Amino acid sequence: MDPSIDRLGRALSSLRISVTDRCNLRCAYCMPEEEYKWLPRDRLLRFDEIARLVDVFTSLGVHKVRLTGGEPLLRPELASLVRLLAAKPALRELALTTNGVLLAEQASALRDAGLGRVTVSLDTLREDVFQSLTRRPGLERVLHGIETATRLWPGAVKLDMVVMRDVNEREIPALFEFARAQGAELRFIEYMDVGGATRWNERTVVSRQEILERMQRAFGAIEAVVEDSTAPAERFRAADGTLFGIIASTTTPFCRRCDRARLTADGMWYMCLYARLGLDLRELARGSASDDEIARRIAASWSARQERGAELRLEELRRGPLVAVEDLRTDPHLEMHTRGG
């Protein structure tokens, strides 16, 4: 039996690494609370420890790494980590997900260090909506970051928009036009009831179906793109040929093809965004465990993996937030901004 194939036939091929749990925004769908409990700084993995774990993961078949957070650009010297990882031949893809606020100033260093792809979260083009959604100013800086990124990584920039009712759903056409003008692929994301989303309710979710209807009303016929992919987004083509994606984890989960796992900034490894329990790789790596032993522990967990968190949530009749605020305070690893989205 291949240790990197789980019980549902899914290969371990993608790893999201959160490099910090801190953030310079407070998005309503991710960090709506006033107070947060942060991971102790001395517990964060050093870059050499991350690089070592990445070697272990690539030996098991991982070939894509995405750096995320919290806000990854808050991690000092991030370009040094990118340089370490970009030098690994087994990694076919090295990407970053950022809110874009600090992107313009760091983009050149990241590109020179070998970063291959960038996804920027962009939920609105209106400063007033940006400020009420994120509780911080900064839209101009995000837009500047996107322009810089599309210049430095032509054809390799994506924009992610979490669509929420009565917040930004009317901006669906405007965001599509903006992304098209920038040469970036837009992905609409359904509002998810994950840890951190303590204000989640079903009414605020704008479904895949409704997003498609709104796109059709604005731009005419939409065609589904047929592709065999493990990517979370389903892709569509607008009448003018422009591609866009929808990540419909709330109404149409992609668990059956999910090949990704997540590493928190302090080295907890989770096999599902919805999982309560993880494996403490920092403890193993800082203890006396050899690379082979760490690989064996990871493979044993993955080969027993049956997780399909989003699908199971779908089966629940009455849905509310996944995790209670008190539980998030007791274990910040349950937070989306700790787990890396």
Q: According to the binding rule CB under 6 A, does residue 336 interact with ligand SAM?
A: yes
167 vs 284, beta carbon nearer ligand SAM: 167
With CA atoms as reference, report the closest residue to 19 among 65, 85, 72, 55: 72
Q: Which stretch binds ligand SAM (CB under 6 A): 3-11, 143-151, 186-194, 269-277?
A: 186-194
Q: According to the binding rule CB under 6 A, does residue 233 interact with ligand SAM?
A: no
308 vs 337, beta carbon nearer ligand SF4: 337
Q: According to the binding rule CB under 6 A, does residue 70 interact with ligand SF4?
A: yes
Q: Which stretch binds ligand SF4 (CB under 6 A): 65-73, 201-209, 281-289, 297-305?
A: 65-73
**What CA–CA distance (Å, rounded) separates 64 from 9?**
18
26 vs 144, beta carbon nearer ligand SF4: 26
What secondary structure letter does DSSP report for 280? Answer: E
Total residues binding ligand SAM (CB under 6 A): 21
Q: According to the binding rule CB under 6 A, does residue 30 interact with ligand SAM?
A: yes
Least distance to ligand SF4, CB of residue 25, Å: 4
Q: Which stretch binds ligand SF4 (CB under 6 A): 18-26, 181-189, 247-255, 285-293?
A: 18-26
Q: Which does 178 bind (CB under 5 to 8 A by kind): ligand SAM, ligand SF4, none?
A: none
Q: In sequence order, what are the beta bridge partners of 261?
A: 15
Binding mask 189-208 for ligand SAM (x = CB under 6 A): x-xx-x-xx-----------
What secondary structure letter does DSSP report for 125? Answer: S
DSSP string over 216-261: HHHHS-EEEPP-----S-EEEEETTS-EEEEE-TTTS--GGG--EE
Q: Which does 143 bind (CB under 5 to 8 A by kind): ligand SAM, ligand SF4, none?
A: none
Q: Which does 31 bind (CB under 5 to 8 A by kind): ligand SF4, ligand SAM, none?
A: ligand SF4
Total residues binding ligand SF4 (CB under 6 A): 12
204-209: list long-range contacts, CB under 8 Å, 24+ apart: 204/164, 204/165, 204/166, 204/167, 205/164, 205/165, 205/250, 205/251, 206/163, 206/164, 206/165, 206/169, 207/248, 207/250, 207/251, 208/234, 208/246, 208/248, 208/251, 208/252, 209/251
Which of 49-72 are b and which e, b meaning 16 or more Cβ less than 10 Å from the residue's Cβ? ebbbbbbbbbbbbbbbbbbbbbbb
195 vs 267, beta carbon nearer ligand SF4: 195
Q: According to the binding rule CB under 6 A, does residue 74 interact with ligand SF4?
A: no
Q: Mention every residue, 6+ apart, whose C-beta is less than 8 A from residue 232.
A: 247, 249, 254, 258
Least distance to ligand SAM, CB of residue 79, Å: 17
23 vs 115, beta carbon nearer ligand SF4: 23
Residue with tokens 């709330």: 250
